[in-house]
Chains A and B, each alone.
Chain A
């Protein structure tokens, strides 16, 4: 549960530093490759960054969720695609976990990881059976 972990200053500092870095990279990526994309952070007590964009009638996002309390940080990557037409048609895909040894490694490797996940996420196809409930 992340709520309690935010109380620990060392954890909070590590998370905020990583989130700042990921958010900055995601915003730069969005302005170059995903016009109109929106970047947001820290959803429902989670140390995360979400890049959301529109792909025709389909909405898509990539969520990077910090999974560890300190460096090296492991970051889970999830992709979601959905369409709101009455009930929401929705699919999610787990793109696995990446690990960053320190802030420098994150700053160096995250742009390529983001670009790769962005490309993969575009293949989430709503036409096949939707996931969820």
Chain B
């Protein structure tokens, strides 16, 4: 966990499954089909760890980002805060959410396949 003196990383990530990854590549837009799209500043290399710390219903396959803070939409659905337990997962990571799409435009987003 970040201490109070640790600089906050100026990047966000989104952890996604195969279907959403395909959609991002196809459309150049990051947006959940559900009303809220969650992001985090947390960097995980393991899908299981991301699922546990972000209280996700299923294990994500990809980490999308880093996405610079300057192109992020306003977090109108949930401000940055600590993840509560859900789906039997412990949470404890950091999250925020928006109802707005992130249109990547000329920004080339990178993504990585997560370890189990």
A contacts, CB < 8 Å to B: 1-7, 16, 40-48, 50, 52, 59, 61, 63, 65, 78, 80, 82, 84, 88, 90, 92, 94, 131-133
Contacts and interface: CB of A to CB of B under 8 A. Distances in A.
B17 interface: yes
Interface of B: 16-17, 19-20, 32-36, 38, 52, 54-58, 78, 82, 84-92
7 contacts: A3-B20, A7-B33, A40-B78, A44-B57, A45-B57, A88-B91, A92-B88
A42 B56 CA distance: 11
Given A80-B88, A92-B85, 9 more contacts: A1-B17, A2-B34, A3-B20, A3-B34, A16-B35, A50-B86, A63-B87, A78-B88, A133-B52
A52 B57 contact: no
A54 B114 CA distance: 35
Contacts of B56: 44
Contacts of B84: 50, 52, 59, 61, 80, 82
Given A82-B85, A88-B90, A88-B92, A42 B35 contact: yes
A41 B35 CA distance: 9
B33 A61 contact: no
